[in-house]
């Protein structure tokens, strides 16, 4: 049985913060920033970016100005889409 405290928007925020922290700490910060900025600058404003693996999701999210406002774009991932369809 899953602990209900490990669900919802608060838990998603905790996972994203940890994912960004882990992404920058495990790798070389210089290359993590370069990786993220290259992707961010290649996506048109207001688009939806579907991140796949953790670096493609967390590092990009961590360097976006506002995830809530989609600035410069919205970030989603296949795992979130899958979880929504099964709930």
Structure tokens at 41: 């600058």
The total number of structural domains in the chain stands at 1
Q: Is the pLDDT of residue 34 over 90?
A: yes
Average pLDDT, the chain: 81
13 Cβ neighbours under 8 A, 6+ residues apart? none
Residue-number span of the structural domain to which 64 is assigned: 4-86
pLDDT band at 4 (very low <50, low <70, confident <90, very high): confident
Q: What tokens were used for 8? A: 């919802």
In whole angstroms, what is the distance from residue 79 CA to residue 27 CA?
23
The mean pLDDT value for 42-67 works out to 84
């Amino acid at each position: 049985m899953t602990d209900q405290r490990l669900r919802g928007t608060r838990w998603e925020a905790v996972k994203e913060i940890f994912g960004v922290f882990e992404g920058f700490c495990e790798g070389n910060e210089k290359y993590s920033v370069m990786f993220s900025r290259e992707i961010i600058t290649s996506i048109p404003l207001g688009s939806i970016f579907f991140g796949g693996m953790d670096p493609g999701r967390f590092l990009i999210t961590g360097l976006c100005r506002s995830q809530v406002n989609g600035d410069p774009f919205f970030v989603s991932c296949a795992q979130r889409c899958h979880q929504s369809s099964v709930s």
